[in-house]
Chains A and B, each alone.
Chain A
């Protein structure tokens, strides 16, 4: 095993070009587990800790450019207004120690369906900035990023530099089921973002299909129902029948498996419940009712 320590982004890209099998390591919260448990022996480890740019974020007029290694703790603390869905998701990641090290780049690189950031990223409609020494920068829409179980759309010589997320134009929520009240991997998760500017809603489902997915039918249905009912203008409550249908469609978007963490049937069921609840919370919030959560909001 070789340990590559590029001092700059350019050096990192050059190293990745030269050694396409090199495994990037930033927070180490996935890679080191695999090494410690002898599940993986990469030929090269490519350390990204020294590339300061990856730890920075810029809040622009419309978007936030979030460096791939910005720790979840920073996102929770600093980007709650701009990226509320991702901030909530960040708060559910593992433990404080892990949140201090891990960042969105790791979730994207690993592309595990259980990664906590994915539902929020899908719901936000972000783009992933990847780069290779040879072909330069490429922006991958999040909808095209996840291509299979633990597989993403990146080429072997590419690295994730940042994620470009639209600043929230409406309430966002994230909810995750685990069988413990902290430090738990998702049995399944659901992210929801209301986009009042475009009068659309976007969703993301984690751990309930081979890849993170959106519940597109549910989104389309809900957007239409809100439009038809004049809800965006009136802010009137969403009828229970609409919420129920939304939940059912969200469940229907799942394609889960039975595993040690939960049954397929439970995952479908739970995604439906989370869809209905997060819709309730976001809509209450849209209507102007403060419906925050102390645990989630304390870092705001």
Chain B
């Protein structure tokens, strides 16, 4: 199968048009971004605008006994101070799936940093000082911080009176959602096992740490509505949550995407959107809100920390017999994306392996910890960390090579998932492992030079901790499986509006979608698709807004697939209309208009034999062809709530990593020397962007392997490190070379055969680094991130 590329769609379309799919065309927003002109959501400015500020809870679980805003409101320069009581509509809660999150705290606060009041003033400092004058009396409530305290007999309920659609099947109201999967008979299959490996694993709370803070500008409009300029991952999802709380119909909330400084899942939930609109509508003035980094750590959900228990068995010849696992995700105070994360964690918990007999359970808890939700990898990351550690343990116990053992059990096209769903497109798991293993290893002791040791290439880096002392090299492998697109029966569609016309003597296509460009390069790809399908050079990407239908979320590795698919579909329909115009105007000039397969290439209408029939300019003249269409990938179904069976996923994505690390075993410091990745991308629409996504995802996986963790004090449920001083993400000195081997095995179900790519590399990166550190140190290391304490026994 390796090396074979199948493409289901006629790719000759536009192949002679420069800048089409498959080329590494450059970003259309590149120039604006390098000159500083690109307008990010925090760059917005409006005459007479006010600054909004959010007062957040200093407690994690407390009754709000009283709130006194009078002194704050009396401050000069303060225009508004709003609390829950000031909310204008009957709807006062929002949420992605379960509307359990109050716009402002009501009655009690459920986590540290929950918004309690909002202030608008003429200067950010005025707003901050006013907020400091709001008097809040809290009465402490008992804390729920983990599974034991959540499910204890006398456990306080985080949400009383739940009436969401999960309450009927969860064993306790402090469980958001539970998804078991039972397939085959794990207990029976266990009897065939010659070796059994059991492990408990802990995954720390990771932050998306996008660099552009939550921010935006709300401008009241004359019709009583509001214009909102904001950085988000999904305009229409925001809109659906914002409009009801403002008491406005959706058409009166007009949203435009501003520049987005990264997202990684952290912008899937509402942050400042509703607050800014409330203040703008209340004051009648534009209101800008920009979080600082401290606030940003409270302003968005994080990756679920998890505790995972796994048992695997294998026969002595290395075949997996069964797997049992239990995954406990801490969802924190509000549901956010927890139910979907549970579905992913559960359905992908077996990894990219053939295991017929499984017994799986995943739950997400409600606790008083920070709310957790979407982050790149979405439930699959935590599971991959655990099952890949198990694979190494099994291989070791069997005395088999760790890569060979994985290859022996690797899934392939046709393998049945634990959910009963067949994997019906290429699944080159063994091949990806082969490829990363085949890459040349980086030379040993690269830090040595004639001038001595270059500390920049050693563990500890510039801090000058070792000149080679205590340094041991290790190599580790991992592979993972991620779903692409929204799963479990979700109506996952995108809309594209495409227009074609002649401007200044040249055919021009305009692509308008609501897709959030968060850095991934969707805008680049849309232009490429339009060039390929419409044979034009000039493509204008219209700003994303809610004047066009939903494009779904920029998450789940889905945008190139789904909105890309929608753009392709709309372009094809536009092309048909253009050809109709051509037939109408010129059909009599040449018989091929009626008989041949016609294509648009290089600004011309040509036959499939390559004969030019007309210039697009002459075909279109003054006519404008424009249409807006929704496009769906094939449907999925919900998982059975008892057995977890169901064709719940759209597509799977696979990546494998090999990590080479050097560990200062005495100080417990790690330098990742190289992190090689092989990934199947189906079809690389833009190879440069594909590699960029893989390298970026890999680095986020590296971060949570060795440094990234939001530390919550178990005694107070308060966040202890909400800053870039103490929440560390990798610098360029922490990030190794990342050689990437891209495989293109087309998925016949997907546009151009492409495969969603953004998340898979984040999965296997972490366990590969952990495996390499284990290899260097001989330690078991069941928790990520690895801290120096874990490596030194201190």
Contacts and interface: CB of A to CB of B under 8 A. Distances in A.
**A contacts B: CB pair < 8 Å:** yes
Interface of A: 36-38, 88, 91-92, 173-187, 260-263, 265-266, 268-270, 273-274, 277, 280-281, 290-297
Nearest to A284: B467
Nearest to A289: B452
Interface string B427-456: 000000000000000000000010111111
Contact of A295 (B462, B667, B721): B462
Choose among B456, B467, B666 the residue with the greatest number of A CB atoms under 10 Å from its CB: B467
Given A180-B707, A180-B728, A265-B794, A296 B449 contact: no
Interface of B: 128, 292, 294, 449, 451-457, 459-467, 469-470, 666-669, 671, 706-707, 711, 720-721, 723, 725-726, 728, 730-734, 787-789, 792, 794
A269 B734 contact: no
Contacts of A280: 469
B455 A295 contact: yes
B668 A260 contact: no
Contacts of A173: 464
Contacts of B787: 179, 262
Given A266-B792, A269-B794, A260 B720 contact: yes
B721 A294 contact: no
A294 B666 contact: no
A270 B671 CA distance: 17
B699 to A, nearest CB: 13
A272 B133 CA distance: 48
A180 B734 contact: yes
Nearest to A39: B294
B725 A176 contact: no
In the A-B complex, the 3 residue pairs with the closest CB atoms = A181-B461, A294-B454, A266-B794
Contact of A277 (B459, B465, B733): B465
A292 B449 CA distance: 11
B794 A263 contact: yes
A295 to B, nearest CB: 4
21 contacts: A36-B292, A37-B292, A92-B463, A176-B463, A177-B465, A177-B788, A179-B669, A179-B707, A179-B787, A180-B728, A181-B731, A181-B734, A185-B726, A260-B721, A269-B792, A270-B667, A273-B667, A292-B451, A294-B453, A294-B455, A297-B452
B454 A295 contact: yes
Contacts of B461: 180-182, 295
A37 B213 CA distance: 14
A166 B170 CA distance: 70
A291 B666 contact: no
A277 B707 CA distance: 24
Given A178-B463, A260-B711, A266-B668, A293 B455 contact: yes
A134 B299 CA distance: 49
A179 B464 contact: no
A173 B720 CA distance: 33
B26 to A, nearest CB: 29
A269 B667 CA distance: 8
A268 to B, nearest CB: 8
Contact of A293 (B454, B459, B668, B711): B454
Chain A contact surface mostly: mixed
Choose among B453, B460, B461, B732 the residue with the greatest number of A CB atoms under 10 Å from its CB: B460
A290 B452 contact: yes
B289 to A, nearest CB: 15
Nearest to B734: A181
B725 A185 contact: yes
A83 to B, nearest CB: 15
Nearest to B53: A38
B466 A277 contact: yes
B37 to A, nearest CB: 23
Given A92-B462, A266-B792, A179 B728 contact: yes
A181 B725 contact: no
Contacts of B734: 180-182
Contact of B451 (A37, A92, A181, A294): A294
A187 B669 CA distance: 12
Given A181-B733, A273-B666, A277-B466, 12 more contacts: A37-B292, A38-B128, A88-B464, A175-B460, A176-B463, A180-B734, A182-B733, A185-B725, A185-B726, A263-B794, A269-B792, A277-B465
A179 B459 CA distance: 10
Contacts of B294: 37
Given A36-B292, A260-B711, A295 B730 contact: no
B667 A181 contact: no
Nearest to A182: B733
Given A88-B464, A175-B463, A180 B730 contact: yes
Given A266-B789, A295-B456, A297-B452, A184 B667 contact: no
Contacts of B470: 273
A293 B453 CA distance: 5
A106 B470 CA distance: 34
A185 B723 CA distance: 12
Contact of B464 (A176, A183, A273): A176
Contacts of A290: 452
B347 to A, nearest CB: 34
Contacts of A37: 292, 294, 723
Nearest to B293: A37
B546 to A, nearest CB: 34
B465 A274 contact: yes
A174 B461 CA distance: 13
B724 to A, nearest CB: 9
B460 A181 contact: yes
Contacts of A263: 789, 794
A181 B723 CA distance: 18
B467 A281 contact: yes
A30 to B, nearest CB: 11
